[in-house]
Amino acid sequence: MRRVVDAYGVGTLREVTYVLDSVHFAWHDDFTRALASGDPIVGTLRAALAPTGMTADAQDLLILAWVALTDRELLRHGSPAGSPGIGGLANDVTLREPVLPSQEDWTNALHRAKAVFGIGASEHHLSSSAVKRVGDELVTKLRNVDRGATDLVGGLEAHGDVLGLGDVSPRLATGRRARDLIGALRDAADHVARIRVLAEFDLPGELQPLARSLASAADVSAALQGANWQLLNQLPTLAGERAANALTSLRSAAEPDQMHVDLAPALSAAAQEVTHILVEKRGTTARTDDDAEAEQERARREQEDRRRREQEEELKRREQEAVDRERRLREQEEEFRRRQEQAQREAEKRASQEHTLEVEGMSQLETLLKDLTQELSRPVEGKKLRVDWRWL
């Protein structure tokens, strides 16, 4: 190995370590100048090595060493080319300079990745390969915890009244923060953006509760879904000290983070306590069944009596309304008859007055004719009088 390293100028081999850096890589300046004046592809570096007469495999060794040294990304037709080995490096592979997060973001994100997700423990130096490794591990973790984180918040919110949870309750607040973090990381465009999101996301100084919430989200969510809510929902309405103590115990377990109190056993214990309370209550109720039945029978009879009285009163009211309608009808008929008789009397009176006028007119006409006849019966000399009688 020492012969290869020294002969090709590809780093230096010390007693127990192999060092590859810009000082011990003999082709660093040659490759830098070649790319400065040519296309950033593998073919450009091969052209720089052509005068040496090296084989294609030897060229691949030097080019891949330089790629690792300068942290270049290998792309082919715009897509990642993976990690080709010696003999698999095509001339048209592009050597792109890496796009990296800032050193501050990398350090912060790496700390959070280790504390929250348990990944990146072996990473230290910022490089494109390190970013890719951490990003890939993050994506894998997100797939595992995404559904559980979402379901956990949904279950806590759905039963928040019984569990006594509010917006500031540590368990619910931590669950929401974890869900939002997972969503932001999932929606990031690439690994670099994912590192930035993890570094800049609003997280508390103590990351252990968040990590525990994410790790147990699926189990706690399953416990919430499997709990006997038909029983638990009755707990706030049950009377007695025993029910009050059971409700207090359940809410005391639901309030803090999962790191401090496991919620699943508290749900089971509360449901069991409700069962005992209801069984005892049924025993007490059984002893008073006769009294309850008697009370129900008395109430039923009172209701029937009240309904019968109401029906009788309604019947009387309707009969009285019928009598009133008949009386008003008779009064209307009597009034109509009275007006009809009055109209008839007035008509007869008018007819009598007209007959009197006719008789008086005829008498006057007869008197006039009589006077005229007498006047005409007296002759006048020298005159002739012709009289025509016309009766109209």
Kindly state whether residue 111 falls inside one of the protein's structural domains: yes
User: Any bridge partners for residue 96, and if so which?
Assistant: 73
Mean pLDDT of 139-147: 96
pLDDT tens-digit map of 340-356: 888 888 888 887 776 66
pLDDT for the residue numbered 376: 65
Instruction: Give the range of the structural domain holding residue 8, as residue numbers without chain letter.
Output: 2-96
Residue 280 pLDDT: 87
- The phi and psi torsions of 211 (rounded to 5 degrees) equal -60, -45
Q: At which residue do the structure tokens 């912060």 appear?
A: 108
- State pLDDT tens for residues 295-310: 778 778 888 888 889 8
Name the domain boundary from 254, 287, 320. 287
pTM above threshold 0.85: no
Give the amino acid at 173: A
Residues 113 and 78 in one domain: no
195 domain-assigned? yes
Instruction: Classify residue 124: in a domain, yes or no.
Output: yes
Same domain, 181 and 260: yes
Residues 15 and 52 in one domain: yes
Please check whether residues 109 and 253 belong to one and the same domain: yes
The reply to whether 154 and 86 lie within a common domain is: no
44 plus 131 within the same structural domain: no
280 vs 177, more confident: 177
At residue 220, does pLDDT exceed 60?
A: yes
Please give the C-alpha separations between residue 168 and each of 77, 177, 369, in angstroms, as whole numbers: 51, 12, 130
pLDDT at res. 35: 87
Phi-psi category of 153—alpha, beta or left, where left has phi over 0 and alpha has psi -120 to 50? alpha
Count of domains forming the chain: 2
Of the residues 62, 96, 130, which one is the last residue of a structural domain? Answer: 96
Beta carbons of 235 and 159 less than 8 angstroms apart? no
Q: What's the mean pLDDT when you consider all of the chain?
A: 87
Domain final residue, candidates 96, 117, 137: 96
Judged against a pLDDT cut of 90, whether residue 38 lies above it is answered with no
* Model confidence band, residue 161 (pLDDT cutoffs 50, 70, 90): very high
Q: Is 242 found in the same domain as 164?
A: yes
Establish if 192 belongs to a structural domain: yes
Q: Does a structural domain hold residue 190?
A: yes
